[in-house]
A = this chain, B = another copy of it.
Amino acid sequence: MLITLDPSLHKPLYVQIHDQLRERIISGALAAGDRLEPTRELAKRLGVHRTTVSNAYADLHAEGLIQGTVGRGTFVSPLAAELLTSGPPRRRPINDFYWDSFFPPDSQDDSLSRLMASASEPGMISFAATHGSPELSPVDLVRRALDAALRREGAKLLQYGSSDGYPPLKRYLQARLERDGIAVDLDELLITSGCQQSLDLLHRTLVAPGDVVVCENPTYTGRWHVFESPGIRLLGVPVGAEGMDLDSLEALLSQNKVKLILASPTFQNPTGRTMPLAARQRLLELATRAQVPIAEDDIYGALRYRGRELPPLKALDTSGLVIHLNSFSKVGFAGLRVGYVVASRRVIERLREAKQQADLHTNLLGQAVLEEFGRRGWLDKLIRRAKYLYSHKLDVLCRSAEQFLHSVAKWDIPEGGMSIWVELPAGLDAGELLVKARDRGVIFAPARYFYFQNPHHNAFRLCFTTPTDEQIEKGVRILGELLKEEISKLPPGRKPAPAGSGVALV
């Protein structure tokens, strides 16, 4: 199809495309049944955005001149000639084709998410998600806490609340943070609907098209999904034995005007790695020198089972550049959707405005539950229980891995968090393994899921908090058998030397 676009005309490009195609149908150059060029190809050839072509096609479709469906192609309608000679254009009911002009086909591969969603199938052993253990769920205490909170000020909890957060919860968190070495004023603290929303609010307020954002690679999938938006350049920093690789970060900072660093210094998801104190101090120094704020995700921070407690970046922050994100979702309260952000007053102001636009405020029942738990001392007890239980489960996982994976994989033992990171011999693809493992009743999260750049394929994350002890042992045994079978199919040079635990991976 010969179509010529003139950007200098006061006529939108999609209308120019539409009009020229319509002309060709009128002239008979395009006849009933003729196939139109696919939108993607035509857009590429004309050097325009695909939506522009889709809009033109949608208009022709609405006029009844063309028809077709996604996948099959688009054709000149058998009735086109008739329609063109019989009065005003006809309008048809909207179909999926119509919405294509709004939603270009999604290029994102969500087959992994679908596989991991098998977790709810009966009998499935799931190492896939960093969910809490049902054994830990504080249902009875939540019932008591809600009952007390509703008796005390139920009408207030059912009414609209403040975008800033439920004041009693803010005061409780302020005291708790001070205990943990983070002294904040109340206007430096914002309640959000969980850490995912905190990330989304940061994205909305701190970055704009053209900005560069630096993030660990691999990282939590929900994090890079938020920041991988049009016009943002997301640059990855490799994760080593001591967390985010700081030499790489320093190089990135010197070569780019970076707007924001996303960091998970403690039990980084998915690798489980933790930055030692000296690394934390160097990270802060690099960020301060480059004057780049750091968004610190500390969602696993409370779940330390061994080793020395380390201060969050925010507790070491003298420059005011650290934005601290946290929640209690990993210690039994995921369903409440309550989290918080600690940052400079100016940052909190903007986040609060964005929060008001996003969802007015965080649900008040969830905030009231947390405040009751905190004030009554139940929160700390719950965290102690979680640490005790998860520490035990990590031991079970490590023993099982020693027994069934020692000759076929490498991993290191994290000091906390909810998962271990298992590295496989080169040549194995954890995504393909997942398909086979699922057939045997075991699922996990393959490495590819966590990389926004240079994906590694031969690794996966095993989350140990949801399966029972027996499921952990059985699941790891099945994985070990599967890995042995798969490795036996590899060419001889690829086969791994026996490894075992405690091996640094990077």
Residues of A within 8 A of B (CB): 12, 14-15, 51, 55, 58-59, 62, 91, 93-96, 98-99, 102-103, 106, 129, 131-132, 134, 137-140, 142-143, 146-147, 150-151, 154-161, 193-194, 196-197, 200, 205-206, 208, 222, 225-226, 257, 259, 288-289, 291, 318-321, 329, 332-338, 344, 346-347, 350, 353, 356-366, 369
- On whether A334 and B291 interact (CB within 8 A), knowing A226-B357, A358-B358, the answer reads no
CB atoms of A143 and B137 under 8 A apart: no
CB distance from A497 to the nearest CB of B (A): 39
Cα of A208 to Cα of B321 in the assembled complex, Å: 31
CB distance from A244 to the nearest CB of B (A): 21
Binding site of A, secondary structure by majority: helix, strand, loop or mixed? helix
Which chain B residue lies CB-closest to A227? Answer: B357
CB atoms of B58 and A291 under 8 A apart: yes
The listed residue with most B CB atoms (<10 A of its CB), out of A59, A151, A194, A334, is A334
CB atoms of B359 and A196 under 8 A apart: yes
A51 proximity list for chain B (CB < 8 A): 208
Cα of A336 to Cα of B160 in the assembled complex, Å: 8
CB atoms of A99 and B344 under 8 A apart: yes
A151 proximity list for chain B (CB < 8 A): 143
CB atoms of A359 and B335 under 8 A apart: no
CB atoms of B131 and A155 under 8 A apart: no
- On whether A200 and B358 interact (CB within 8 A), knowing A12-B257, A143-B147, the answer reads yes
CB atoms of B226 and A335 under 8 A apart: no
Listed from nearest, the 6 A-B pairs whose CB atoms lie closest are A139-B154, A335-B364, A137-B155, A337-B363, A99-B346, A94-B320
CB distance from A185 to the nearest CB of B (A): 14
CB distance from A87 to the nearest CB of B (A): 14
CB distance from A90 to the nearest CB of B (A): 10
Contact for A291 among B12, B98, B206, B335, CB less than 8 A: B98
- On whether A359 and B96 interact (CB within 8 A), knowing A138-B158, A139-B158, A157-B335, the answer reads no
A334 proximity list for chain B (CB < 8 A): 158-160
CB distance from A232 to the nearest CB of B (A): 13
- On whether A159 and B137 interact (CB within 8 A), knowing A196-B357, A363-B337, the answer reads yes
A359 proximity list for chain B (CB < 8 A): 193-194, 196-197, 200, 337, 358-359
CB atoms of A132 and B159 under 8 A apart: yes
A337 proximity list for chain B (CB < 8 A): 193, 359-364
- On whether A225 and B159 interact (CB within 8 A), knowing A93-B320, A94-B319, the answer reads no
